[in-house]
Amino acid sequence: MNGDIELQHFPTETDESFDKNNLQNEHAVRHQETACEDQSFHDKPEATEESHLLSAEQNNGVHGIQRGGTGKRSFVIDVTLEKKNQPTEPEPVTLVPERNSVSAPALQATAESENATGGKDLLGRLNRKVVWRLRLWMIIALILLVVAILAIVLGLVLWEVLYEDEDDKFDRKSFVVPLFYNGSLRLVSQDVPEDLLTSNQSRALIEKELYSLYNSSPALGRYFSGVGLTTVRNGSVTANYWLKFLMPQEHKQLLRYTLSREMVYNVLRQHLYDQEPGAGPLLYIDPAAIHMEGGNGTLISN
Protein backbone atom coordinates (compact mmCIF):
# COMPACT_ATOMS: atom_id res chain seq x y z
CA MET A 1 0.00 0.00 0.00
CA ASN A 2 2.65 2.37 1.08
CA GLY A 3 4.78 1.54 -1.89
CA ASP A 4 1.92 1.97 -4.35
CA ILE A 5 1.20 5.50 -3.38
CA GLU A 6 4.75 6.52 -3.46
CA LEU A 7 5.12 5.11 -6.92
CA GLN A 8 2.20 7.23 -8.04
CA HIS A 9 3.88 10.23 -6.65
CA PHE A 10 7.28 9.74 -7.96
CA PRO A 11 6.81 10.30 -11.66
CA THR A 12 5.27 13.70 -11.10
CA GLU A 13 7.97 14.99 -8.87
CA THR A 14 11.13 13.41 -10.07
CA ASP A 15 13.11 14.45 -13.07
CA GLU A 16 14.19 12.11 -15.80
CA SER A 17 17.54 11.52 -14.29
CA PHE A 18 16.01 9.88 -11.32
CA ASP A 19 17.15 6.35 -11.19
CA LYS A 20 14.36 3.93 -10.50
CA ASN A 21 16.83 1.48 -9.10
CA ASN A 22 17.43 3.89 -6.33
CA LEU A 23 13.84 3.77 -5.27
CA GLN A 24 14.48 1.50 -2.42
CA ASN A 25 17.38 3.54 -1.17
CA GLU A 26 15.34 6.67 -1.36
CA HIS A 27 12.72 5.12 0.80
CA ALA A 28 15.25 4.25 3.39
CA VAL A 29 16.74 7.71 3.40
CA ARG A 30 13.37 9.36 3.54
CA HIS A 31 12.19 7.33 6.41
CA GLN A 32 15.30 8.15 8.25
CA GLU A 33 15.03 11.84 7.65
CA THR A 34 11.39 12.15 8.59
CA ALA A 35 12.32 10.89 11.94
CA CYS A 36 14.35 14.02 12.50
CA GLU A 37 12.46 16.73 10.61
CA ASP A 38 14.27 19.75 11.99
CA GLN A 39 17.59 18.61 10.89
CA SER A 40 16.41 18.25 7.33
CA PHE A 41 15.78 21.98 6.90
CA HIS A 42 19.22 22.90 7.99
CA ASP A 43 20.79 20.25 5.91
CA LYS A 44 19.88 22.01 2.66
CA PRO A 45 23.15 23.73 1.83
CA GLU A 46 25.12 20.54 1.82
CA ALA A 47 22.42 18.67 0.01
CA THR A 48 23.13 17.11 -3.33
CA GLU A 49 21.04 17.27 -6.46
CA GLU A 50 18.82 14.48 -5.44
CA SER A 51 18.20 15.79 -2.01
CA HIS A 52 16.36 18.77 -3.48
CA LEU A 53 13.77 16.36 -4.61
CA LEU A 54 13.92 14.61 -1.36
CA SER A 55 13.29 17.71 0.61
CA ALA A 56 10.11 18.45 -1.25
CA GLU A 57 8.81 15.04 -0.46
CA GLN A 58 10.00 15.23 2.99
CA ASN A 59 8.51 18.63 3.53
CA ASN A 60 5.14 17.16 2.84
CA GLY A 61 6.07 14.53 5.23
CA VAL A 62 6.60 17.07 7.93
CA HIS A 63 3.13 18.37 7.58
CA GLY A 64 1.85 14.93 7.51
CA ILE A 65 3.36 14.31 10.83
CA GLN A 66 2.08 17.57 12.24
CA ARG A 67 -1.43 16.79 11.25
CA GLY A 68 -1.60 13.11 11.61
CA GLY A 69 1.43 12.13 13.55
CA THR A 70 0.45 8.51 13.46
CA GLY A 71 3.71 7.15 12.21
CA LYS A 72 5.61 6.37 9.10
CA ARG A 73 3.12 4.10 7.41
CA SER A 74 0.22 6.51 7.43
CA PHE A 75 1.93 9.78 6.74
CA VAL A 76 2.39 9.03 3.11
CA ILE A 77 -1.32 8.63 2.69
CA ASP A 78 -1.79 11.94 4.44
CA VAL A 79 0.43 13.61 1.97
CA THR A 80 -1.64 12.49 -0.93
CA LEU A 81 -4.86 13.57 0.66
CA GLU A 82 -3.44 16.92 1.48
CA LYS A 83 -2.27 17.46 -2.02
CA LYS A 84 -5.51 16.50 -3.63
CA ASN A 85 -8.23 17.89 -1.45
CA GLN A 86 -6.94 20.09 1.28
CA PRO A 87 -4.35 22.55 0.17
CA THR A 88 -3.94 23.87 3.68
CA GLU A 89 -0.32 24.67 3.61
CA PRO A 90 0.64 26.04 0.26
CA GLU A 91 -0.88 29.48 0.88
CA PRO A 92 2.40 31.22 1.58
CA VAL A 93 3.47 29.90 -1.74
CA THR A 94 0.42 31.13 -3.60
CA LEU A 95 0.61 34.51 -1.93
CA VAL A 96 3.90 35.12 -3.57
CA PRO A 97 3.37 33.64 -7.00
CA GLU A 98 5.15 36.45 -8.85
CA ARG A 99 8.39 35.86 -7.06
CA ASN A 100 9.39 32.97 -9.15
CA SER A 101 12.98 33.21 -8.18
CA VAL A 102 12.34 32.27 -4.59
CA SER A 103 13.89 28.91 -4.09
CA ALA A 104 12.26 25.97 -2.47
CA PRO A 105 14.18 26.23 0.78
CA ALA A 106 13.22 29.89 1.08
CA LEU A 107 9.58 29.06 0.69
CA GLN A 108 9.84 26.52 3.35
CA ALA A 109 11.45 29.06 5.56
CA THR A 110 8.57 31.52 5.15
CA ALA A 111 6.09 28.81 5.77
CA GLU A 112 7.87 27.92 8.91
CA SER A 113 8.13 31.48 10.21
CA GLU A 114 4.48 32.20 9.54
CA ASN A 115 3.55 29.14 11.39
CA ALA A 116 5.74 30.14 14.25
CA THR A 117 4.53 33.77 14.62
CA GLY A 118 0.90 33.08 15.01
CA GLY A 119 0.27 33.23 11.26
CA LYS A 120 -2.31 30.59 11.89
CA ASP A 121 -4.88 33.29 12.42
CA LEU A 122 -4.24 34.71 8.96
CA LEU A 123 -4.13 31.26 7.49
CA GLY A 124 -7.45 30.53 8.95
CA ARG A 125 -8.97 33.61 7.41
CA LEU A 126 -7.47 32.91 4.03
CA ASN A 127 -8.73 29.42 4.23
CA ARG A 128 -12.26 30.54 4.85
CA LYS A 129 -14.81 29.31 2.34
CA VAL A 130 -16.23 32.33 0.55
CA VAL A 131 -18.45 30.91 -2.11
CA TRP A 132 -19.22 27.27 -2.69
CA ARG A 133 -15.88 25.45 -2.39
CA LEU A 134 -13.74 28.46 -3.23
CA ARG A 135 -11.54 29.65 -0.44
CA LEU A 136 -10.35 33.21 -0.01
CA TRP A 137 -6.79 32.51 -1.14
CA MET A 138 -8.08 30.95 -4.28
CA ILE A 139 -10.07 34.02 -5.10
CA ILE A 140 -7.10 36.29 -4.46
CA ALA A 141 -4.94 34.15 -6.75
CA LEU A 142 -7.64 34.14 -9.41
CA ILE A 143 -7.95 37.92 -9.33
CA LEU A 144 -4.20 38.33 -9.62
CA LEU A 145 -4.13 35.99 -12.58
CA VAL A 146 -6.94 37.78 -14.39
CA VAL A 147 -5.26 41.14 -13.80
CA ALA A 148 -1.99 39.82 -15.19
CA ILE A 149 -3.63 38.44 -18.34
CA LEU A 150 -5.58 41.65 -18.86
CA ALA A 151 -2.39 43.67 -18.53
CA ILE A 152 -0.65 41.59 -21.16
CA VAL A 153 -3.56 41.73 -23.59
CA LEU A 154 -3.96 45.46 -23.08
CA GLY A 155 -0.25 45.95 -23.64
CA LEU A 156 -0.37 44.06 -26.91
CA VAL A 157 -3.41 45.95 -28.12
CA LEU A 158 -1.86 49.29 -27.20
CA TRP A 159 1.36 48.30 -28.93
CA GLU A 160 -0.50 47.49 -32.08
CA VAL A 161 -2.67 50.60 -31.94
CA LEU A 162 0.02 53.03 -30.91
CA TYR A 163 2.69 51.54 -33.17
CA GLU A 164 3.80 54.16 -35.60
CA ASP A 165 5.53 53.06 -38.71
CA GLU A 166 8.57 55.28 -39.09
CA ASP A 167 8.14 55.13 -42.82
CA ASP A 168 4.66 56.61 -42.64
CA LYS A 169 5.93 59.72 -40.90
CA PHE A 170 7.03 62.59 -43.05
CA ASP A 171 6.73 66.33 -43.19
CA ARG A 172 5.79 67.74 -46.55
CA LYS A 173 6.97 71.16 -45.49
CA SER A 174 10.53 69.94 -45.43
CA PHE A 175 10.34 68.92 -49.07
CA VAL A 176 11.51 72.00 -50.88
CA VAL A 177 13.87 71.04 -53.70
CA PRO A 178 11.92 70.68 -56.95
CA LEU A 179 12.44 67.85 -59.43
CA PHE A 180 10.85 67.69 -62.85
CA TYR A 181 10.24 64.92 -65.31
CA ASN A 182 8.72 65.52 -68.67
CA GLY A 183 7.95 63.69 -71.84
CA SER A 184 5.22 62.77 -74.19
CA LEU A 185 2.47 60.21 -74.30
CA ARG A 186 0.06 59.01 -76.89
CA LEU A 187 -3.64 59.01 -76.32
CA VAL A 188 -5.82 56.29 -77.69
CA SER A 189 -9.52 56.71 -77.89
CA GLN A 190 -12.37 54.37 -78.28
CA ASP A 191 -15.27 55.86 -80.19
CA VAL A 192 -14.30 59.36 -79.19
CA PRO A 193 -14.28 61.95 -81.94
CA GLU A 194 -10.88 63.36 -82.76
CA ASP A 195 -11.74 66.90 -81.79
CA LEU A 196 -12.74 65.82 -78.30
CA LEU A 197 -9.22 64.56 -77.71
CA THR A 198 -7.86 68.01 -78.04
CA SER A 199 -10.51 69.63 -75.91
CA ASN A 200 -9.86 70.91 -72.44
CA GLN A 201 -12.10 68.24 -71.05
CA SER A 202 -9.91 65.38 -72.13
CA ARG A 203 -6.82 67.25 -71.01
CA ALA A 204 -8.30 67.58 -67.54
CA LEU A 205 -9.19 63.91 -67.58
CA ILE A 206 -5.65 62.83 -68.31
CA GLU A 207 -4.19 65.26 -65.80
CA LYS A 208 -6.53 63.92 -63.16
CA GLU A 209 -5.60 60.36 -63.88
CA LEU A 210 -1.88 61.07 -63.67
CA TYR A 211 -2.37 63.10 -60.53
CA SER A 212 -4.29 60.42 -58.68
CA LEU A 213 -1.82 57.77 -59.83
CA TYR A 214 1.28 59.52 -58.49
CA ASN A 215 -0.49 60.94 -55.46
CA SER A 216 -1.57 57.49 -54.30
CA SER A 217 1.78 55.87 -54.93
CA PRO A 218 3.22 54.51 -51.65
CA ALA A 219 6.77 55.50 -52.51
CA LEU A 220 6.29 58.60 -54.65
CA GLY A 221 3.06 60.09 -53.27
CA ARG A 222 4.65 62.14 -50.52
CA TYR A 223 7.06 63.84 -52.89
CA PHE A 224 4.56 64.41 -55.66
CA SER A 225 3.58 67.97 -56.25
CA GLY A 226 1.81 68.30 -59.56
CA VAL A 227 1.27 67.33 -63.15
CA GLY A 228 0.40 69.25 -66.25
CA LEU A 229 -0.17 68.67 -69.93
CA THR A 230 1.58 71.31 -71.92
CA THR A 231 0.53 70.71 -75.47
CA VAL A 232 -1.86 68.36 -77.06
CA ARG A 233 -0.91 68.14 -80.67
CA ASN A 234 -3.60 67.73 -83.20
CA GLY A 235 -3.49 64.90 -85.61
CA SER A 236 -0.99 62.65 -83.90
CA VAL A 237 -2.87 62.89 -80.61
CA THR A 238 0.38 63.17 -78.69
CA ALA A 239 0.45 65.11 -75.46
CA ASN A 240 3.44 66.59 -73.69
CA TYR A 241 3.37 66.46 -69.94
CA TRP A 242 5.42 67.43 -66.94
CA LEU A 243 5.61 65.95 -63.45
CA LYS A 244 6.81 67.89 -60.44
CA PHE A 245 8.20 66.38 -57.26
CA LEU A 246 9.55 68.09 -54.14
CA MET A 247 12.47 66.59 -52.29
CA PRO A 248 14.05 67.28 -48.92
CA GLN A 249 17.38 69.11 -48.73
CA GLU A 250 19.20 65.81 -48.36
CA HIS A 251 18.15 63.91 -51.44
CA LYS A 252 21.16 62.20 -52.95
CA GLN A 253 19.93 58.67 -52.25
CA LEU A 254 16.34 59.59 -52.95
CA LEU A 255 17.24 60.80 -56.40
CA ARG A 256 19.17 57.63 -57.10
CA TYR A 257 16.44 55.23 -56.05
CA THR A 258 12.93 56.34 -55.16
CA LEU A 259 12.73 59.33 -57.46
CA SER A 260 14.85 57.83 -60.21
CA ARG A 261 13.62 57.93 -63.77
CA GLU A 262 13.23 54.16 -63.66
CA MET A 263 10.76 54.39 -60.78
CA VAL A 264 8.75 57.36 -62.00
CA TYR A 265 8.55 55.95 -65.50
CA ASN A 266 7.68 52.37 -64.51
CA VAL A 267 5.05 53.37 -61.96
CA LEU A 268 3.20 54.98 -64.84
CA ARG A 269 3.94 52.14 -67.24
CA GLN A 270 2.75 49.42 -64.88
CA HIS A 271 -0.38 51.39 -64.06
CA LEU A 272 -1.21 51.55 -67.74
CA TYR A 273 -0.46 47.87 -68.28
CA ASP A 274 -2.73 46.92 -65.38
CA GLN A 275 -5.69 48.43 -67.21
CA GLU A 276 -7.51 45.94 -69.32
CA PRO A 277 -7.76 47.35 -72.81
CA GLY A 278 -11.37 47.75 -73.72
CA ALA A 279 -12.60 47.50 -70.17
CA GLY A 280 -11.04 50.81 -69.15
CA PRO A 281 -12.09 54.35 -69.81
CA LEU A 282 -12.92 55.62 -73.23
CA LEU A 283 -9.73 57.57 -73.35
CA TYR A 284 -6.50 55.99 -72.31
CA ILE A 285 -2.76 56.31 -72.63
CA ASP A 286 -0.86 53.83 -74.74
CA PRO A 287 1.62 52.15 -72.36
CA ALA A 288 4.01 51.30 -75.17
CA ALA A 289 4.25 54.92 -76.30
CA ILE A 290 5.22 56.86 -73.21
CA HIS A 291 8.39 58.76 -73.30
CA MET A 292 10.00 60.29 -70.25
CA GLU A 293 13.16 62.18 -69.49
CA GLY A 294 14.45 64.62 -66.96
CA GLY A 295 15.31 64.17 -63.37
CA ASN A 296 16.69 67.67 -63.33
CA GLY A 297 15.81 70.32 -60.85
CA THR A 298 14.52 72.57 -63.57
CA LEU A 299 11.64 72.05 -65.87
CA ILE A 300 12.86 71.80 -69.41
CA SER A 301 10.28 73.56 -71.47
CA ASN A 302 9.22 72.09 -74.73
Partner 1 sequence: MLLIFLHLYLVLPSPGIVFIWDRIFTEESLFCCSAVGGRNMLLWWFLGLAGSIVHCRGQVSKCDDFTDLDFRETFMGTNLNVKLLLFTRANLDCGRELSHLKLMDQPLFQLTRPTAFVIHGYRPTGAPPVWVGHIVHLLAAQEDMNILVVDWNRGAANLNYYSAVANTRKAAENITAFIQNIQENGALLSSVHLIGVSLGAHVAGFVGAMLKGKIGRITALDPAGPLFSGTPPEERLDPTDAQFVDVLHTDTDALGYRGPLGHIDFYANGGADQPGCPKTIFSGKSYFVCDHQRSVFLYLCSLNKTCNITAYPCSSYHDFLDGRCLQCESFKPASCPIVGYHASKWKDSLLRLGQTKVYFSTTAVSPYCKTNYKVDIVTWNQYTRWGIVVIKLHSGRRVVEARIDHKLSKFEQYTATRLLAQFDEDLNPVQKITLCFLTGNMIGPRYKMRLLRIRLTPLEKPDRPQLCRYDMILEENMEVSFRPMACDGSRN
Residues that bind partner 1 (CB under 8 A): 156, 159-160, 163, 165-167, 217-220, 253, 256-258, 262-263, 265-267, 269-270, 273-274
CB of 125 to partner 1, least distance (A): 40
Give the separation between CA 289 and CA 227, rounded to whole angstroms.
18
The smaller minimum CB distance to partner 1, of residues 222 and 244, is found at: 222
The smaller minimum CB distance to partner 1, of residues 62 and 246, is found at: 246
**Distances from the Cα of 197 to the Cαs of 18, 193, 279, 289, 290, in angstroms?**
90, 7, 19, 17, 17
Q: Residue 132 — left, alpha, or beta (φ > 0 → left; ψ -120 to 50 → alpha)?
A: left
> Three-class SS of residue 89?
coil
CB of 165 to partner 1, least distance (A): 6
Give the separation between CA 76 and CA 72, rounded to whole angstroms.
7
Give the separation between CA 285 and CA 272, rounded to whole angstroms.
7
Handedness of CA 273, 208, 205, 232 (dihedral sign): negative
CB of 302 to partner 1, least distance (A): 22
CB of 167 to partner 1, least distance (A): 6
The smaller minimum CB distance to partner 1, of residues 38 and 168, is found at: 168
CB of 101 to partner 1, least distance (A): 25
The smaller minimum CB distance to partner 1, of residues 129 and 172, is found at: 172
The smaller minimum CB distance to partner 1, of residues 115 and 258, is found at: 258
